[in-house]
């Protein structure tokens, strides 16, 4: 018997009010499930932690069903096939699976993506996975960024933001990032090649952003919301595009912020500047995935797009790391090394 014969998992113990706490999660142990004919036993190597998971902890439907109390927290993971009773898979295969916060899972093979050709399987959770695809889609397809335009993205060193900025640079855009703290800002400029990166913790963000965007903003890739959106709005150019892929600043909100109600000002800006604002979710665009993987794969291979992973060892660390991410404490794509 090895340690792998113990099944560990993290379930939702209770629904958070605002920022989650460790008490909202429960670490459980059990015996490893056994696959039946046509099934696979997967064991998790890397678990992805992503902001959208916060929404799944709430009651009520967002764009997907909430996680039930007592259920395993959802999430994408890189797994190896431990036992295969399925004709299409063999023990040792690497797969991308949506198995969540647990060490093992049974699968019937549906929805798995084989990763045998990847040199570094964890990239399928970041730059070559959902975050990278979200960046690619949002910037090029929804945002229609073009050479010479100015692109602004917040959470600039996060998995999505870093990809947005680098793809925008490869497209010939001026790129201004917003990130938390001087280390992240320096990394965005020096390693990712952003033209500028502003610290959202510094005072007078609006003035700094205006100075960094002398030609205004043509694409604001919205993955944050809050004060950053307020600073961006007056700088948007005629015909600007605002793809909306996330609102991490609001995921812990327990109510609406104080007034005044800025909706009329927002609508008025959309009208007078003919701005297009569109929410999107990567899984609506599966048909674009092969083209993304080809293009982004080449960029990564040639070093034109770089990435940074923030690896946390051990499934039991997932709740703490996840709460840290909601507070902006991760630096790069947050991944739990489960085994």
- Distance of closest approach, residue 61 Cβ to a copy of itself, in angstroms: 8
Q: Would you say 162 or 236 has its CB closer to a copy of itself?
A: 236
Q: Token pair 């604002």 is at which residue?
A: 277
How many residues in total does the chain contain? 339
Q: What count of other Cβ atoms lies within 10 Å of the Cβ of residue 10?
A: 23
Query: For residue 50, what are its two tokens?
Result: 């992503």
Rounded Cα distance, 229 and 221, in Å: 10
Q: Would you say 139 or 321 has its CB closer to a copy of itself?
A: 139
Rounded Cα distance, 107 and 99, in Å: 8
Beta carbons of 177 and 153 less than 8 angstroms apart? yes
- Distance of closest approach, residue 32 Cβ to a copy of itself, in angstroms: 36
Q: Give me the DSSP letters along 91-160.
A: TT-EEEE---SBSEEEE-STT-EE-TT-SSGGGGGTTTSHHHHHHHIIIIIIS---TT-EEEEESTTSHH
Q: Would you say 276 or 339 has its CB closer to a copy of itself?
A: 276
- Distance of closest approach, residue 226 Cβ to a copy of itself, in angstroms: 8
Q: Would you say 147 or 258 has its CB closer to a copy of itself?
A: 258
Q: Would you say 87 or 260 has its CB closer to a copy of itself?
A: 260
Query: For residue 115, what are its two tokens?
Result: 């990763």
By the criterion CB under 8 A, which residues form the site for a copy of itself?
62-63, 222, 225-226, 229, 244-247, 250, 253, 255-281, 284
Q: Token pair 């019937």 is at which residue?
A: 108
- Distance of closest approach, residue 273 Cβ to a copy of itself, in angstroms: 7
- Distance of closest approach, residue 47 Cβ to a copy of itself, in angstroms: 24
């Amino acid at each position: 018997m090895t340690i792998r014969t113990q099944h560990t998992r993290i379930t939702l113990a209770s629904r958070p009010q605002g920022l989650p706490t460790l008490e909202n999660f429960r670490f459980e142990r059990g015996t490893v499930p056994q696959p039946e004919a046509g099934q696979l036993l997967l064991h998790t190597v890397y678990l992805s932690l992503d902001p959208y998971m916060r929404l799944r902890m709430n009651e009520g439907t967002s764009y997907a069903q909430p996680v039930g109390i007592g259920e395993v927290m959802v999430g994408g993971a890189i797994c190896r096939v431990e036992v295969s009773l399925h004709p299409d898979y063999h023990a040792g295969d690497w797969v991308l699976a949506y198995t969540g916060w647990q060490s093992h899972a049974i699968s019937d093979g549906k929805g798995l993506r084989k990763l045998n050709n990847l040199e570094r399987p964890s990239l399928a959770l970041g730059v070559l996975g959902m975050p990278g695809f979200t960046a690619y889609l949002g910037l090029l397809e929804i945002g229609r960024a073009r050479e010479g335009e100015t692109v602004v993205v917040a959470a600039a060193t996060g998995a999505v933001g870093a990809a947005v900025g680098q793809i925008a640079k490869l497209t010939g855009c001026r790129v201004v990032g917003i990130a938390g703290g001087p280390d992240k800002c320096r990394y965005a400029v020096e390693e990712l090649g952003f033209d500028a990166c502003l610290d959202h913790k510094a005072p007078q963000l609006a003035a700094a952003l205006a100075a960094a965007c002398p030609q205004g903003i043509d694409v604001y890739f919205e993955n944050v919301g809050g004060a950053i959106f307020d600073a961006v709005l007056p700088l948007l150019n005629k015909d600007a595009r605002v793809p909306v892929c996330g609102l991490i600043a609001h995921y812990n909100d327990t109510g609406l912020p104080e007034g005044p109600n800025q909706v009329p000002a927002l609508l008025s800006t959309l009208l007078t500047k003919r701005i297009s604002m569109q929410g999107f979710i990567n899984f609506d665009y599966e048909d674009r995935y092969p083209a993304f993987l080809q293009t982004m794969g080449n960029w990564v291979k040639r070093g034109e797009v770089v990435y940074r992973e923030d690896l946390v060892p051990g499934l039991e660390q997932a709740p703490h790391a996840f709460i840290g991410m909601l507070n902006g404490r991760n630096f790069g794509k947050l991944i739990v090394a489960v085994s």
